[in-house]
Amino acid sequence: MSVNKNYAAKIYSHLINGKVLVREIIQNDNLINNYLFSEVMDNLKAYEDQYAMCGFNFINTGDYVYISDKQPPNDRKTDVGMKAQILLLMVGKYLNSRNLSLTKFSTLSAGITQEELEEIQSIGDNADILVRAGMGNGFLSSFKSNLVERNIVLEKTSSK
């Protein structure tokens, strides 16, 4: 197949803005194939070469792709990555404290509710942790900007 230039431009905009390109997206509360991800997989070598020539690591896990600056392996910790990990740990801590399974977070029919996200925000030491991690605007805002808007966490369309 040949690279679709219109899709390539959308993919570039997506990846260069720090977003993860995932295999499936949510549309009308159903998981559907992401046509941009399919474009990348159909032309994987071309995309790997293009981003390598631009000085990026093109990371393909099979279920998602993203780019990162070429850095030595020991120096790949990024501010965005650290923030995402902190937020996901807070969600995990919340689920564990309520004896809830992580599948609640990863199942389309379940998910985390807005009320639960607000509960996570109100947990005592979370506010201090967020401030120290440079996310002083609060859990909800940080969750949205660091996880949802980067497609690390998908938001059900009925939740928007």
Mean pLDDT by 10 residues, the chain (160 residues): 94 93 87 95 97 93 90 63 91 88 71 86 89 90 92 71
Range of the domain at 58: 5-73
Q: Examine the fold and report which residue of 45, 73, 101 is the final residue of a domain before the chain moves on.
A: 73
Among the listed residues 56, 134, 133, 139, the one whose alpha carbon sits nearest the alpha carbon of residue 148: 139
What is residue 28's predicted lDDT score, i.e. its pLDDT?
81
pLDDT at 160: 53
- The total of other beta-carbon atoms located within 10 Å of residue 58's CB is 18
Residue 69 and residue 125 share a domain: no
Among residues 16, 41, 73, the one where a domain terminates is 73
CB atoms within 10 A of CB 64: 17
Q: Is the domain of 151 the same as that of 83?
A: yes
User: Do 83 and 149 have their domain in common?
Assistant: yes
Paired residues of 19 in beta bridges: none
| SS3 call for 71 | coil
Instruction: Give yes or no: residues 117 and 56 share one domain.
Output: no
- Last residue of a domain, which of 38, 73, 108? 73
| pLDDT reported for residue 74 | 57
